[in-house]
A and B are shown apart, each in its own frame.
Chain A
Amino acid sequence: MTQIVKMKGMNKYFGKLHVLKDIDLTVEKGEVVVIIGASGSGKSTLIRCVNGLEEFESGTLEVDGHPLAPKSGNPKSLAEIRKEVGMVFQQFNLFPHLTVKKNIMLAPQKVKSTSQTVANATAERLLNRVGIGNQADKYPSQLSGGQQQRVAIARALAMEPRLMLFDEPTSALDPEMIGEVLDVMRELAKEGMTMMVVTHEMGFAREVADRVIYIHEGAIVEQGKPDDVFDNPQNERTQAFLSRVLAH
């Protein structure tokens, strides 16, 4: 099996705050890893390290064969990693000055010098795939939150990523729109995309994840198959967390 992400002994600090503690984590090609934990536990920071949006202070990280050194060493590797890793944000972060279609075309054209015709065709295909082919010429502000997040997924997919990072993709959505975004993610997983997902959607985690990782105060406390972690958590911290989030 190919390992897409290899983290070893990774540590990160925000000033004096030790946010990631000796993280060892590997993600196999095609694997869907869901990371759960209380807010402030470091789960978002963890996936933001994978594409270098956060620097780490010590340890090693390798993404699809490209090594990243602490303190954002290897800028060349970082550039390669960002081309191969897509990311979906909690706040969508679509470009408000560009139409939906141009949002998707921007990176392929600028980064891969894809022709306008090809980029355009790709954008249309992806928009159909996420179910909003008829919104291509609208601006992001004219779409609902769920539609915006689906555009954001299409935008990331346009770069043909080898790995997709999802940072709480449904946390900013109205409840009735969560389902449509999770559906798209479920499809992606089925098609074999390697995914690292930070989420509070425990139902999604149980159904789609190959592995669930529980993070507490910056350390991986427990990990395993979703059924094992949810039904039979070994660590008392995991038990406490799950009883809180699964109670309602």
Chain B
Amino acid sequence: MEFQFQFDWQAAIDSIPFLIKGIPYTLLISFGGLLIGFALGIVFGLLSINKKWFLRWPATAYIEIFRGTPILVQVLFIFYGLPDLIGGPIDPLTAGIAAIALNSGAYISEVVRGGVQSIDKGQTEAGLSLGLSRTQTFWSVVWPQAFRRMIPPLGNQAIVSIKDTSLFSVIGVGELVRQGQIYIANTFTAFEVYFVVAILYLAITLSLSLILRFVERRGLASV
């Protein structure tokens, strides 16, 4: 018997409306998580370069723990483990957002640290010598320059986090991959459906890359 495989275009096209329903969840988890992750990143990134050890150590511990363990383990821990501790269930969406927030927050902390440390000490000295307080010097002199340098690595992290949300199909969030799995269970068109799923991820990440490139060019033009 001869084996013949043919890409079933019709099956691929038919799957699109169902798969697209996963995109809002993918975007909500990624960008909701990243937004909180950015806040965490600023706080822990700045704490990690504080002179006081009792501020620096907890921040470093947080960064190392969430950078050093797989995000899949983190989300499983939050979804299946934490309910034992808090005595009630956590819905999958919240668990997913929390996992992206905590995980990206650790990486973004490092981005923030690197960005801030890359600014020449002379900038701080100039601010202080003009009478600005340490806080004023940081927020009006150092931070705007550091933030510009942080845009490329932040974009990188956003793309990583968007793809990480695909792992959350294991806790049953109706994101892209989960939608694909459900669809395949009924049609057995794995090849076509995962192909479309991949294309949809690519569409999201490529759009983001384009936007970031535009922002970067505008942001750097003035320096």
Q: Does B125 contact A (CB under 8 A)?
A: yes
Shortest A180–chain B CB gap in Å is: 21
Q: Does B205 contact A (CB under 8 A)?
A: no
The size of the chain B interface, using a CB distance under 8 A, is: 20
Shortest B216–chain A CB gap in Å is: 14
CB–CB A107/B130 < 8 A: yes
Name the residue of chain A whose CB is nearest to the CB of B129.
A87
CB–CB B131/A96 < 8 A: no
CB–CB A86/B145 < 8 A: no
The 8 closest A-B pairs by CB, nearest first: A107-B130, A93-B126, A83-B131, A87-B129, A93-B122, A111-B131, A82-B131, A97-B144
Helix, strand, loop or mixed for chain B's interface?
Answer: helix
Tell me which residues from 125 to 148 in chain B have a Cβ below 8 Å from any Cβ of chain A. Answer: 125-133, 136, 140-141, 144-145, 148
Shortest A226–chain B CB gap in Å is: 27
20 contacts between A and B (CB under 8 A): A51-B129, A82-B129, A82-B130, A86-B129, A89-B122, A89-B126, A91-B122, A93-B122, A93-B125, A94-B126, A96-B145, A106-B130, A106-B140, A107-B130, A107-B131, A111-B132, A111-B136, A141-B223, A155-B130, A156-B129
Name the residue of chain A whose CB is nearest to the CB of B122.
A93
Shortest A87–chain B CB gap in Å is: 4
Q: Does A195 contact B (CB under 8 A)?
A: no
Task: Compute how far the CA of A107 lies from the CA of B141 in the bound complex, rounded to whole angstroms.
Answer: 11
Bin chain A's interface residue count.
20 to 34
Known contacts A106-B130, A110-B132, A111-B136; 16 further A-B pairs (Cβ under 8 A): A53-B128, A53-B129, A82-B128, A82-B129, A82-B131, A87-B125, A87-B126, A89-B125, A91-B122, A93-B122, A93-B126, A95-B141, A96-B145, A97-B148, A107-B132, A156-B130
Number of A-B residue pairs with CB-CB distance less than 8 Å in the complex they form: 66
Task: Compute how far the CA of A91 lies from the CA of B133 in the bound complex, rounded to whole angstroms.
Answer: 21
Q: Does B123 contact A (CB under 8 A)?
A: yes
Residues on B with beta carbons closer than 8 Å to the beta carbon of A52: 128
Q: Does A159 contact B (CB under 8 A)?
A: yes
Residues on A with beta carbons closer than 8 Å to the beta carbon of B122: 89, 91, 93
Q: Does B222 contact A (CB under 8 A)?
A: yes
Shortest B219–chain A CB gap in Å is: 10
Q: How would residues 50 to 90 of chain A score, 1 for a CB under 8 Å from any chain B CB and 0 otherwise?
A: 01110000000000000000000000000100110111010
Task: Compute how far the CA of A75 lies from the CA of B123 in the bound complex, rounded to whole angstroms.
Answer: 20
CB–CB A139/B130 < 8 A: no
Residues on B with beta carbons closer than 8 Å to the beta carbon of A106: 130, 132, 140-141
Knowing A89-B122, A91-B122, A110-B136 touch, does A96 contact B130 (C-beta < 8 A)?
Answer: no
